[in-house]
Amino acid sequence: MNVDAAVAAVAAIAGLCTGVFAMLAFRWSERDQAKPTRTSLHTDAVLPPGVDTVLSVLRSSAVVLDEADAVVKASSAAYALGLVRGGKLAVEPMMQMARDTRRDGEIRQVELDLPRRGTGRGDALAVSARVAPLGSRLVLLLVEDLTEARRIEAVRRDFVANVSHELKTPVGALSLLSEAVMDASDDPEAVTRFAGRMQNEATRLTSLVQELIDLSRVQNDDPLEDAEPVRVDELVAEAIDRCRQQAGTKQITMAAGGTADLHVWGNRGQLAAALGNLVENAVNYSPARTRVGIAGRRVPAPGGDLIEIAVTDQGIGISEKDRDRVFERFYRVDPARSRATGGTGLGLAIVKHVAASHGGEVTVWSAEGQGSTFTLRLPEAGAVRDRERPPDLDIAEALDDEDRPYETFNEPLPAHPAPEVLP
């Protein structure tokens, strides 16, 4: 009995000691966890009150660094620009700015060109970086993307330079021709010749100024303020009339089809100018005794049906390297021919802006030596279509198969039967 009592007493003492040790170990663990560690300093808790909220609404990319150059806070835009990778600031010049600001407390700002990550593009990312102290331990880095602003400034600078050059050429020619007329005052034949050339230069200058005005208007005005349903066949007829003389001189046949009962919604004047520019380009860049075709059709689209108007020529075509630039202002595929025909290089830029402002687009298919097809896609004026004709009637029923001008707009004109020639 005494032995059993002694064993029980020893067991109780052992259990008590085990419980005491377990309690001490638990308390010790809690105290270690409560101590500030290096990683716990890199949390949002070290940010001053309200800073996190302010950073979340800034348009600039924001990065907060601690005294060990570790990233405490970074906006999603900073990650998107590739400024922060693996929890560290990845741009060495910005890191050095942060260290200098932490040392002397001075605010610093610099503009940098950073390589684009993962795009394979050679152009750089232009940014403006500003570093300022945030409290006694932290440094705030704000980065603003200037790439688009730089691009717009370059476009504006090129536009001014091109306008100056284009205006200078005819003005200089007029000055020289006027001197020639004065020197040849006793030679009626020379005066007549020089006067004709002066008239050509004056016409070219007038066209350039008018197209500059048109381009400015389509960029600044909202065409949908005075929008109305516009018949496509009327736009086509007007474009053909505009170029009939040039086409007749070169014996170019202009043909149209598939445009009946099609309506687009927009500003009639701007739409007529855009389509007229496409037809005029097709005539100017086509050899003699060829054809220029204009075709229209309705295509289904998720947001509503679109009207496609395609202008196809059998001209010189456009090389692949020039295809993406033909809609730039003053860009010419063939400068010599464009100047000979009085082209300003603004026609396709106007077409692009008119299409965009009307909620559409313009695209180009071309092959060198085979011709080009410019396709203008615009939203259909659906209410007019529903009122004037049954909704299930389409181009295939409106035209006989043999008279249908195009099955597709992505092939040159010679691959299709000749459409009906307008009188």
Q: What is the pLDDT of residues 293-340, one digit of tens each?
A: 999 999 988 888 899 999 999 888 888 878 778 887 777 666 555 555
Residue whose C-alpha is closest to residue 47's, from 159, 167, 134 = 134
10 Å CB burial of residue 36 (0-12, 13-18, 19+) is exposed
Report the pLDDT averaged over residues 127-143: 88
pLDDT of 417 higher than 80: no
pLDDT of 140 higher than 70: yes
Report the pLDDT averaged over residues 47-52: 73
Residue 398 makes CB contacts below 8 A (sequence gap 6+) with 260, 261
Token pair recorded at residue 28 = 């010790």
Please write the tens of the pLDDT for every residue from 362-413. Answer: 999 988 888 899 999 999 986 444 444 444 433 333 333 333 333 333 334 4
Which has the minimum average pLDDT: 16-20, 269-273, 308-312? Answer: 16-20
Q: Is the dihedral of CA 233, 237, 243, 247 positive or negative?
A: positive
**pTM (global) more than 0.85:** no
Angle at 195 between CA 192 and CA 196, to 5 degrees: 85
What is the pLDDT, as a whole number, of residue 43? Answer: 45
Question: What's the order of all strands across the beta sheet hosting 291-299?
Answer: 253-257, 291-299, 306-312, 371-379, 361-367
Residue whose C-alpha is closest to residue 296's, from 207, 206, 372, 236 = 236
Cβ–Cβ under 8 Å, residues 216 and 350: no
Which has the minimum average pLDDT: 227-236, 286-295, 338-347, 362-371? Answer: 338-347
d(CA 149, CA 116): 17
Highest mean pLDDT: which of 157-166, 219-228, 343-352, 390-399? 343-352
Report the pLDDT averaged over residues 346-350: 83
DSSP at 118: S
Which has the minimum average pLDDT: 18-32, 166-180, 212-226, 356-370? Answer: 18-32
* Structural domains of the chain, ranges and CATH numbers in brackets: 42-145 (3.30.450.20), 146-220 (1.10.287.130), 223-415 (3.30.565.10)
Which has the minimum average pLDDT: 148-157, 258-267, 284-293? Answer: 148-157
Where is pLDDT greater, at 420 or 267?
267
Mean pLDDT, the chain, integer: 76
Q: Which residue has the tokens 């496609």?
A: 308
Which has the minimum average pLDDT: 46-55, 267-276, 311-320? Answer: 46-55
Token pair recorded at residue 109 = 């700002």
What is the pLDDT, as a whole number, of residue 295? Answer: 93
The three-state secondary structure class of 223 is: helix
Where is pLDDT greater, at 289 or 381?
289
pLDDT of 421 higher than 60: no
Element (H, E) at 376: strand 371-379
What is the pLDDT, as a whole number, of residue 16? Answer: 67
Report the pLDDT averaged over residues 216-243: 81
